[in-house]
Structure 1
Amino acid sequence: MKIDVNIVFLLLALLAEIIGTIGGFGSSVFFVPIGNFYFDFHSVLGLTAVFHLSSNISKIFLFRKGLDKFLILYIGVPSVIFVVVGGILSKYINPLHLEIVLGIFLVALSALFLIKKNMVIEPNKQNSVIGGILSGFSAGFLGTGGAIRGLTMAAFNLEKSIFIATSAFIDFLIDFSRTIVYYQNGYINPDHLIYIPFLFVIGLVGTYIGKKILEKIPQDKFKTISLALILLIGIITIVKVFFWN
């Protein structure tokens, strides 16, 4: 049986990867809403995990000079644990309710940091662990947790190369873990495997293009752009739940 590849979907996936690289929180925050227009929710979760593996390998390679070991430990470890929990629960709970909560959460916090530009969250263990738990659980349950991790890390005022490299490394650990869970849940649909090679290439190309664009963005504007993108993601999430489901 011939399976057609949707070119528009692939172009939107490339755009999601470029914006996700610029924002520093990964492509899933755009890719998941886009994918939901073309596939069922559980299939989107499976595609997202595999797609992210390639894009995060690219980010780790391109931004390998910057890694924050503190955040890898205190955000990464809780994220990996709770992505497994979220991935398992996603099989039993309707995700629409948490999508609404996620959208409101992203809009409220990003707006707060955009308005209160001088507000800084102390880069301590407690804040890091909380951010890791929330982002990991959201990634497993909804397919996207990078925006929550982005909010946490943006508040820490990291230099942009460190921000992206650290976020990508943590995301890679999350994606590796949830890919196993999603496979066991039956989310890796054989009919959609034709997209995997395309998404792998898109992950590499999109990351490279995003890196080149990012090099032209001053450090003082980086945090504002990241938060503005997260605000937009929150609004899109809320609108999608109420009008496109």
Structure 2
Amino acid sequence: MELLHNPAFLVAAFFAVGIAGLSKGGFAGAGIIATPILALVMPPVEAAALMLPILLVQDAYSLWTYRGTIDWRNIAILLPAAVVGIAVGYFLAAYMSEFIISAVIGVSSTVFAIRSLFFAKAELAPAKKADVPAGIFWGAIAGFTSMILHAGGPPFQIYVQPQKLERDLFIGTSTLFFAAVNWIKVPPYLMLGELNVDILKVSLTLAPLALITTYFGVKLVRRFSTESFYKIINVLLLLVGLKMMWSAGVDIVRFYA
């Protein structure tokens, strides 16, 4: 419990859990920076392990809030593929360069967000159906990047956003998908030895903050129309993409320095 006596950790945890709460409340994508914030004051792998129980607590609240607003076709397509992606991520975790994954996802997210925000044709395009081949691909990528980086949001958004689901349906589907993904990630994290008693105690201490921030995230997102919601989501996706590319660039410079 030494972490709880570290002022730097407490500040980082407040922002990380708060941002994750906004993400779980409906602002998908924002939560991707939660783990990197914690990684500023603790080892990255421990930061990811600490965030996992917190995400599970936030998932439970979000699932209750958005129950009944789920696109089951998307879940049926994405979730089995995500399981495969998580398994691949577990077995390749020791061999993969995180900065390469960050760079690829960052570029894809940035391009998609720019296209959606600044090109009218993308905005006016008819809604797409939940396509099986594309869903299998992006579902597997979401599972893989979630296992490695807790960064499954961008691949999910790239696949689901063109379907132009109603706001709560999009959030409910995202909530169920990532709740399932996070629970599936628990055994791999246990086998890696990262979810130890000390980490779980710190996560439990932060649980009330996790619930409060998720509650306010839900309240905030419901103030926006579906159209405004998607614009905000695309802005967040753009910021996330740029952040991932920046982080990848910094890591590459450090690697070759």
Q: What is the match of residue 62 of structure 1?
A: 65
Q: 1:144 aligns to what SS in structure 2?
A: coil
Distance 1:60 1:174 in 2: 13
CA displacement, residues 93-119 of structure 1 (integer Å, 9 cap, x when unaligned): 231221122211211121122223224
Cα 1:2–1:213 shift into 2, 3 Å:
closer
Partner of 2:13: 10
Query: How many equivalent residue pairs?
Result: 245
Moved more, 229-238 or 42-51: 42-51
Moved more, 89-98 or 117-126: 117-126
Structure 1 residues not aligned, in runs of 5+: none
d(CA) in 1 for partners of 2:215, 2:123: 29
**What is the rounded CA distance, in whole Å, between the counterparts of 1:127 and 1:228 in structure 2?**
23
State the partner residue of 1:174: 181
| Matching residue within 137, 141, 148 for 2:155 | 148
Structure 1 consecutive aligned stretches of length 4 or more whose deviation exceeds 4 Å: none
1:89-238 aligned at under 5 Å gives the runs 89-115=92-118, 116-119=122-125, 120-238=127-245
Q: Percent identity?
A: 20
Aligned to 1:31: 34
Counterpart residue type for residue 126 of structure 1: P
Higher normalized helix content (fraction of residues): 2
Normalised to the residue count of structure 1, the TM-score between the two structures is: 0.90
Aligned equivalents of 1:12, 1:164: Cα separation in 2: 22
Specify the SS of the correspondent of 1:238.
helix
C-alpha deviation, 1:198, in angstroms: 3.3
Residues 124-143 of structure 1, C-alpha deviations (whole Å, 9 max, x = no match): 22222222111111111222
Opposite residue 192 of structure 2, the aligned amino acid is: N
CA-based RMSD of the aligned residues comes to: 2.1
